[in-house]
Structure 1
Amino acid sequence: MTKKSIKERTPQSDAFLHENPVINRVLQNRGIKSLEELDLDIKNLLDPFLIKDMDKATDSLIDHLMEGTNICIVGDFDCDGATSTSIMAEGLKLLGFENVSYIVPDRQKHGYGLTPSIVDLAYETKKPDVIVTVDCGISSFEGADKVYELGMELIITDHHLQDSSGKLPKCEAAVNINRNDCPFPSKNLAGCGVAFYLMVALRKKMRDYGIFQQRGMSEPNLGQLFDLVSLGTVADVVPLDRNNRILVKLGLDRTKRGLAREAINEVFKQKNKDVFKVKSSDWGFMMGPILNSAGRLENMTKGIEMLLDRNPGRVTDRVSELIELNETRKQIGREMELDTECILDNEEVNMGVVVFQPDWHEGVVGITASRVKEKVNRPVICLTETHEAKAAREKYEFALENNHDPKTIAQLKEEMDNSLIKGSARSIPGVHVRHVMDHINTENPGMIAKFGGHAMAAGISIPYNQFEAFKKAFDKACEEVIEPYMIEDSVVVDIHNVDPAYISLETAELINSFEPWGQKFESPVFSGQFVVREFKPIGKEQNHLKLVVSPIGSDHRYEALLWNCCSPSEPPRVQVNHVIDSVYTLDINEWQGFRRVQLMFNYMYDEEYELNLQREANISKSSEMVI
């Protein structure tokens, strides 16, 4: 085990924000300059009509409402796509739209976004007059053309970056806060946030036009969509600026009051979690992965059906199925991580890492890329075969093995070379992976078939025969932008060696009161040196560690937990009375009515133990040399 470098965050503000010095420093580190920024009341949400084309989109939808036309929502197969689709489907029905359906691309059959094939499927099975995209569409030029070729109309709602050409697909309206010409102050809405904003704007327009009164219907409360927009925003790992924090908090508060939809309550019940104490981390680490498993391993339609279903009996079964599916996803992920370790053990780790295995599961490559990125601290792309590529490769290999004529073999080789392998990229701070791909695409026409995404995550498809060339190009492009400090094995914390007086239940409660925490508004992390008083492995597999520790020079004693750090065959790398370096968060342990602060270790290093281990290894090595 290597020792990590621990760095304190630099405060981004010098404002006095709280009398508790720990909380004050945490908020300064997040760049908070005034108490007003911490006011997350619904009245502070940004105006939906600041989004470009919002007027066009709402007017178009109202025309379709009056005409009673068929609307089909085309979504994405991740958690943001599922919540976006659910918000749009449920929201339109709440607003009086009767003919609303949805369709989600199959990851392996159709690929991402509004592709011509998913447009064909929507046209054949849903018979829509208009297609509304959620969480996709801004770069779907061919799919958009197909919509109009078939006599339908298109409304795009998305949050992904616009095509580098600056052009938009053919559509009635393109509601996207990341359009080059969109003046909306926040560029961080997730797809579900954009969908929710469209519903809010549509309700206002219908109110202004007197449509609710004309149709004899009461104005719907869109607050019942808060849980969906909250979940999708956190799960999509978009930056939690003030506007997004308001949206997330609205959903958390509704859930804490017992008003969340049946699916969310049932997940908490089956996972033995208290829904009335929900945190943003529950969206990111529990709800999100369970929902995502549908899109990763099967079809996200199952996830959307779970979210929209109000029948308790059916919801119980749907939740059980997705929890089981998520366990399968975890096992597949573990196997793929082992594959990457074997591959990387046998080659030099580049600045930009590209790993390919033909038999990997397409739905799990993104998670695997994230795991590898955490280990190597470099941008990572994990690739696998598409169905078409697999079929082409197997035909070619069969022809080779059975000595087919050279012309046939050459033809099959060309088909395989031109078939696509695809995957996901995950990046590190400071390396905008979509810009990297854009640069490679410009410098090497034909090397990339298609790509899209954000700064920290992207999807990509390349021809089979371009793998080695792309691997080198990605490494070179990353090397040009990566500075040495970006890849250091380091941890950034808010405060090093917190005053023991403030490692307290009160501080932990205050941290919880400033929820939601998340991307770009990270939950507070601290570091410090502690003396180990006691420790013991815990858990069914004895793979977790429970400790009692004291800050150096202090009599205070704290319980601490460290997950997945040992096993019966690998004892904990720590000894009683040793001084450890640690990185931790503050949590509250509640048991039989008692509440006390608890340290949740993310990292622990016992330098004396490691030195002793190294000495023993050196002695053993010397003995072997003598023998």
Structure 2
Amino acid sequence: MSLFEEILRARGLQDATRESFLHPDYGKRHDPFLLPDMAKAVDRLVAAREKQERITIYGDYDIDGLTATTLLVDALGQFGFRFVETFIPNRFVEGYGMTVDAVERIAASGAQLILTVDCGSLSEKEIVRANELGVDVIVTDHHNVALTQPPAIAVVNPKRLLQDNPRRYHGMMLTRQMKTKPLYPFLDLPGVGVAFKLIQALQTRLDGLPYGQEKWLLDLVALGTICDVVTLVDENRLHVFWGLKVLAKTRRPGLKALMAVSGVEPSKVDARSLGFMLGPRLNAAGRLETARHAQEMLLATNGLEALEKAELLDALNKQRRAEQDEIHKLATKQAETYKGDPVLVVSHPDWNHGIVGIVAAKLLEKYKKPTFVLQEMGGESKGSARSYGGFSAADAIRAADRLITKGGGHKLAAGVTLPTKNIEAFRKHLNDYFRSLQLPPQPPLLLLSEDVVTADFAQLNEGLLHEISQLEPFGNGNPEPIVKIDAVQVVSIRRMGNDGQHLKLSLQDYLGGGLDVVAFSADESWFVEPGEVVSVWIQPLLNEWRGVKRVEGRLVRLEMGKDSGEE
């Protein structure tokens, strides 16, 4: 059996499952009307179209919200809605989600309907206020839901089905469809995915966007899906698979310009390009200034205007990286003070809370602990959390309700605002909460495991890489395959980067074959000596330099081998 066949078997991709995964069929999309309140949302929007009411799309400052907002502006325009405005909150003014002040400003502008994307499920008082001002609200969202839904015309959120039918779902997948009570089969859609389903539903009632033409929206869906790190299975995989093909020939001047300044060749765009090249530049605007810059680029119809905005995003991203590096150095130094805690909580007045989430992720990776990084802003502090394994950042924040002003999010990523004077009590509460869970050791959960084991570098060839490419797009729920190679000898080691933080190893297998592997921001324990025997876990990749192609490896894990001389 070939290495590729072993990889497929390890992932449970055999027979019919294999075919549907390798060749996603766009025609097998799910019925949008199985989502909660979808029919109500469509009825209200059809009525708004007939009366040409003024609509404000209330978005969010992250990529999921920005792409969903852009998607709705595009599609509603094609359906013939003439009065559509957007509202993108400022992270440093409104913060995440709906606010009463923003609702009042939108109502004063003459809006008759607010359509949210990527927010609104927990906005009870804001929607009550909208209703008092005579403004209807349709919520489209994918975040956690309340036990009682806010008084909107419709709350279109897949998570409602999990709350109402917990026994019908395993994780986010429906276990069995029933004719008497059909349910939406897949719940882990991002905000842009929910907005796309709304457009599919509107196609059944309105002219202007014929069936099939909605595929041109999939470039936005792919971008939001990848950058929101939802699982790339089922409908998410379908959307990204076809969305990457659309992105390669996108009609949007903004995305063309963004790829140009990011050094992404449209014909070679992949999920990694979105997550590591396009995504950070789009997010930089909202982290440092206002996400409006990114929104204007995505909506641009003029190539020159789009390029100007893309260059601004590129400059902001460079500034973001510089600030992030400085925060990371200071946060690492502070974290050493609390390295005995199972949950890290660090804070400082000079740390931009638009950036601290990235720093929290880096500290988690270094210390292998759930991490909260906060900016102290006088009497109030605000920040982000990153977690893994059995510790839910969102649940921990909810458990600290008496100490915080507000907070919430997902299991692995969340945000919190609290009085600065409560930081020490918050730190103690989080660590007490962690200990109360009596979780098994968590760091092993961060260790990446292999899909397949080989002892022969010769099997890592261009043919294998071509086969592996059929599994793309890669991401959460569908990671790049990992190959483990046991008992290989380190021939040479090279440190790279300004601080020597990157690593390049030249390895030799038992047959004398050679392979170079590279790790960026490598774990300190990976800096081994020439002559030592190690086991490595790698993701094979093709390195092309000056026309010469070589198969190399991205090092993701390293352990000392049995023959290395260690006791």
How far the C-alpha of 1:536 sits from its partner, in A, is: 4.5
2:152 alignment partner, one of 155, 171, 196: 171
1:145 to 1:378, Cα distance in 2 relative to 1, 3 A: same
Distance 1:489 1:454 in 2: 18
1:431 to 1:152, Cα distance in 2 relative to 1, 3 A: same
| 2:33 corresponds to 1:76 | no
Distance 1:364 1:611 in 2: 44
Answer 1 or 2: higher relative contact order, Cα 8 Å, separation at least 6.
Answer: 1
SS at match of 2:354: helix
Superposed, which structure 2 residues align to 1:386-465 within 5 Å?
386=377, 390=378, 416=379, 420-441=380-401, 446-465=402-421
- Equivalent residue number for residue 549 of structure 1: 507
How far the C-alpha of 1:67 sits from its partner, in A, is: 0.2
Distance 2:356 2:254 in 1: 27
1:540 to 1:135, Cα distance in 2 relative to 1, 3 A: same
1:52, 1:181 within 8 Å by CA — same for their partners in 2? no
Distance 1:547 1:375 in 2: 21
Gaps of 5+ in 2: 166-182
Distance 1:479 1:526 in 2: 35
1:540 to 1:424, Cα distance in 2 relative to 1, 3 A: closer
Greater displacement, 521-530 / 504-513: 521-530
- Equivalent residue number for residue 522 of structure 1: 479
How far the C-alpha of 1:540 sits from its partner, in A, is: 8.3
2:484, 2:538 within 8 Å by CA — same for their partners in 1? yes
- Equivalent residue number for residue 385 of structure 1: 376
SS at match of 2:81: coil
- Equivalent residue number for residue 440 of structure 2: 484
| 2:517 corresponds to 1:560 | yes
SS at match of 2:369: coil
Deviations 1:275-318 (A, max 9, x none): 21122111111111111111111111111111121321111111
1:74, 1:134 within 8 Å by CA — same for their partners in 2? yes
1:422, 1:461 within 8 Å by CA — same for their partners in 2? yes
SS at match of 1:59: helix
Distance 2:100 2:140 in 1: 18
How far the C-alpha of 1:578 sits from its partner, in A, is: 3.4
1:608 to 1:264, Cα distance in 2 relative to 1, 3 A: farther
1:311 to 1:458, Cα distance in 2 relative to 1, 3 A: same
1:218 to 1:204, Cα distance in 2 relative to 1, 3 A: closer
Greater displacement, 226-235 / 86-95: 86-95
| 2:112 corresponds to 1:116 | no
- Equivalent residue number for residue 151 of structure 1: 134
Greater displacement, 307-316 / 473-482: 473-482
Distance 2:97 2:367 in 1: 30
- Equivalent residue number for residue 244 of structure 1: 236
Deviations 1:152-181 (A, max 9, x none): 110000000112xx0111111111011134
How far the C-alpha of 1:46 sits from its partner, in A, is: 1.4
1:491 to 1:348, Cα distance in 2 relative to 1, 3 A: closer
Distance 1:440 1:36 in 2: 47
1:492 to 1:260, Cα distance in 2 relative to 1, 3 A: farther
1:136, 1:160 within 8 Å by CA — same for their partners in 2? yes
Greater displacement, 150-159 / 475-484: 475-484
Q: Which amino acid aligns with 1:600?
A: R
- Equivalent residue number for residue 404 of structure 1: none
Q: Which amino acid aligns with 1:434?
A: A
- Equivalent residue number for residue 123 of structure 2: 140
How far the C-alpha of 1:537 sits from its partner, in A, is: 5.2
1:187 to 1:270, Cα distance in 2 relative to 1, 3 A: same
1:469 alignment partner, one of 422, 425, 434: 425
- Equivalent residue number for residue 178 of structure 2: none
| 2:450 corresponds to 1:494 | yes
Superposed, which structure 2 residues align to 1:142-221 within 5 Å?
142-163=125-146, 166-179=147-160, 180-181=163-164, 183-206=183-206, 211-212=207-208, 221=213
Distance 1:495 1:35 in 2: 16
Q: Which amino acid aligns with 1:236?
A: D
Distance 1:561 1:348 in 2: 28
SS at match of 2:403: coil
- Equivalent residue number for residue 600 of structure 1: 554
SS at match of 1:595: strand
Larger radius of gyration: 1
1:382 to 1:482, Cα distance in 2 relative to 1, 3 A: farther
Deviations 1:213-267 (A, max 9, x none): xxxx8678112211110010110011122111001111112223x2353333333
Distance 1:489 1:244 in 2: 25
SS at match of 2:491: strand
SS at match of 2:373: strand
1:227 alignment partner, one of 219, 224, 236: 219
1:377, 1:489 within 8 Å by CA — same for their partners in 2? no
2:348, 2:375 within 8 Å by CA — same for their partners in 1? yes
SS at match of 1:205: coil
2:32, 2:38 within 8 Å by CA — same for their partners in 1? yes
SS at match of 2:330: helix
Q: TM-score, normalised by structure 2?
A: 0.89
Q: Which amino acid aligns with 2:507?
A: V
Distance 2:223 2:303 in 1: 20
| 2:297 corresponds to 1:298 | no
1:268 to 1:603, Cα distance in 2 relative to 1, 3 A: farther
- Equivalent residue number for residue 180 of structure 2: none
Q: Which amino acid aligns with 1:548?
A: S
How far the C-alpha of 1:438 sits from its partner, in A, is: 2.7
Deviations 1:384-411 (A, max 9, x none): 234xxx2xxxxxxxxxxxxxxxxxxxxx
Distance 1:320 1:330 in 2: 15
Distance 2:246 2:39 in 1: 29
1:610 to 1:524, Cα distance in 2 relative to 1, 3 A: same
Percent of paired sites with the same residue? 30
How far the C-alpha of 1:64 sits from its partner, in A, is: 0.3
Distance 2:273 2:477 in 1: 17
How far the C-alpha of 1:109 sits from its partner, in A, is: 1.0
Distance 1:369 1:549 in 2: 33
- Equivalent residue number for residue 8 of structure 2: 27
Distance 1:31 1:178 in 2: 26
Q: Which amino acid aligns with 1:559?
A: D
Deviations 1:584-612 (A, max 9, x none): 21111234554332212234567899999
Indicate the RMSD between aligned Cα atoms, in angstroms.
Answer: 2.8
1:535, 1:547 within 8 Å by CA — same for their partners in 2? yes
1:308 to 1:30, Cα distance in 2 relative to 1, 3 A: farther
Q: Which amino acid aligns with 2:539?
A: T
How far the C-alpha of 1:346 sits from its partner, in A, is: 2.0
SS at match of 2:490: strand
Gaps of 5+ in 1: 1-18, 391-415, 613-627
Greater displacement, 242-251 / 377-386: 377-386
SS at match of 1:354: strand
- Equivalent residue number for residue 101 of structure 1: 85
How far the C-alpha of 1:574 sits from its partner, in A, is: 4.3
| 2:336 corresponds to 1:336 | no
1:46 to 1:499, Cα distance in 2 relative to 1, 3 A: farther
- Equivalent residue number for residue 359 of structure 2: 368
- Equivalent residue number for residue 401 of structure 1: none
Deviations 1:349-389 (A, max 9, x none): 32222222222101012111111111122221112234xxx
- Equivalent residue number for residue 405 of structure 1: none
Distance 1:346 1:607 in 2: 33
Distance 2:61 2:234 in 1: 27
Q: Which amino acid aligns with 1:588?
A: L
Distance 1:544 1:299 in 2: 33
Distance 1:150 1:297 in 2: 33
- Equivalent residue number for residue 24 of structure 2: 40
1:489 to 1:72, Cα distance in 2 relative to 1, 3 A: closer
- Equivalent residue number for residue 168 of structure 2: none
Greater displacement, 230-239 / 579-588: 579-588
SS at match of 1:171: coil
